[in-house]
Structure 1
Amino acid sequence: MARIKPQALLQQTKKKKGPSRVSVPTILLYALLLFVMLFFLFATYRHWSRRSLVHLQDTVSVEEGHSVLADPKKSAIPRYAVIQTTKGSLSVELFKEGSPEVVDEFIESCKKGHFKGMQFNRVIKNFVIQGGDVERSGATEDWTARGKHYSQLDTSLKHEAFMLGTSKTRHDGGGFDLIITTAPIPDLNQKINIFGRVIKGEDIVQEIEEVDTDELYRPKTRIEITEVTLKQNS
């Protein structure tokens, strides 16, 4: 029997102890299994993520629905009014937060058509224009008698020009009149309940202010309100 040389024996030992090589099909199989597992995990994550998002959106929608149902009038309150006159159109922002009761009364009067055909019966240059009952002229005449030129003017919002208000004496049987200031008025709070401001159509206010009037500040040509439209947006 032939003897194996030590060097050849060592090489044979290394070959026996060395790891067997992994076949290509086996590698592909393991890669496929890993891909399937990762895809399954990703699909599961997307499913639960979408379910959580839908649940959150439904919760928010329900809460918003409850808030609207709890106070349906809140979302329906008009914030603006468009006053159509024979001279042109005025857009007015309503101060619901500052004068809630007056704004509510104004809105109800609009819905009843109270202002349709209302005539501007007093036009005092650099002061106010007023629409309402021509027989109730005492308040405006009183303002005029006290003078319209003051050395100091209050600069607060309610004392600016183009503010919309109604006379504080309107409940004495005269209904809801409309007053638009054409200049700052220092004692405005004593005479008028301010509930809005003209934001478009200031030129129309100034055009009305320039009309010819008689000695009682009544316009010589008829100027009236033809329609008032309530709006949510300006």
Structure 2
Amino acid sequence: MARIKPQALLIQSKKKKGPTRISTTTIVMCNLIIALVALSLIATYRYWSRRSLDQSGSELSNQEKIDVFGKKDDLPGYAILNTSKGPITVELFKEASPEVVDRFIDLCQKGRFKGMPFSHVIKHYIIKGGGSQELGAAEDWISKGKLRGQLVTSPKHEAFMLGTTKARPDNKGFELVITTAPIPDLNDKLIVFGRVIKGEEVVQEIEEVDTDEHYRPKSSVGITSVILKQEI
């Protein structure tokens, strides 16, 4: 048997231990995979960026609609009238009197009722805030209120209802009226847009204040602030 020379063995050993060469095809495939991953990441980033912009635009459009129409699904459904005698919680009739409720909420946010005095207090009838200090409509209401023979069953004729007078449609003359007894004859004078659900005793305490011959309170009593709430 022929012997392999040491030099030949050394050459064979170097050939076995040498690094394996990477083919050109493998290099090309790796580069393609890297490129595809990079393109995929870029496409994903662009997709989410575009989606985020679309959502922002959609929210802006919705806000613009709210600003234009003045409507919103989550309008406050309750108002707390803080008075010098205590708080009165009122449920607002958003569906039955939407326009008046919208105007009331807008005026509340502008601070229209802060410091509003109760200008007239008529026992077993109404307490009225804002408006003229003269007798005017109150005297007319009393003369009609004496004719209470026929009592109609309706939420508008119950006690502790919140309304505003029809005679003053403008914001500056927006008056608040709370009935203190069932009154069937105010339908043509009062727009009812809420009802007292808590604080009836406060209404009755205000009703008991001393008044002059024109039903004006002798001591100052009124609304100190109004808090709007979506839920109670």
- Which bin holds the TM-score, normalised by the shorter protein? 0.5 to 0.7
Identical-residue share of aligned pairs (%): 60
Is 1:92 matched with 2:90?
yes
Structure 1 alignment gaps of length 5 or more:
1-61
CA contact (8 A) 2:116 2:224 kept: yes
Report the AA paired with residue 150 of structure 1. R
Separation in 1 of the partners of 2:79 and 2:92?
A: 7
Partner of 2:193: 195
Q: CA deviation at 1:146?
A: 2.4
What residue in structure 1 maps to residue 214 of structure 2?
A: 216
| Correspondence 1:184 to 2:182 | yes
Q: Secondary structure at the match of 2:99?
A: helix
Aligned mates of 2:141, 2:188 — CA distance in 1: 10
Query: How many pairs are equivalent?
Result: 170
Q: Deviations over 1:196-225 (max 9, x none)?
A: 000000000000001111000001110011
Q: Is there any run of 5+ residues in structure 2 with no aligned partner, and where?
A: 1-54
| TM-aligned CA distance change 1:148 to 1:176, over 3 Å | same
Distance 1:136 1:98 in 2: 31
Deviations 1:69-110 (A, max 9, x none): 597643330000000000000000000100011001100110
Superposed counterparts of 1:5-154, under 5 Å: 69=62, 73-135=71-133, 137-154=135-152
Query: 1:168 maps to what in 2?
Result: 166
8 Å Cα contact 1:93-1:198 kept in structure 2 = yes
- Per the normalisation by structure 1, the TM-score is 0.67
Using a 3 Å threshold, how does the CA distance of structure 1 residues 184 and 201 change in structure 2: closer, same or farther? same
Cα contact 1:160–1:184 (8 A) shared by 2: yes
TM-score w.r.t. length of structure 2: 0.68
| Paired letter, 2:115 | G
Q: Displacement of 1:159 after TM fit?
A: 0.5
Say whether the 8 Å CA contact 2:120–2:129 is kept in structure 1.
Answer: yes
After superposition, the CA RMSD in angstroms is: 2.3
2:162, 2:178 within 8 Å by CA — same for their partners in 1?
A: yes
Q: Structure 2: how far apart are the matches of 1:88 and 1:98?
A: 27
Pair 1:214–1:160, CA change in 2 (3 A): same
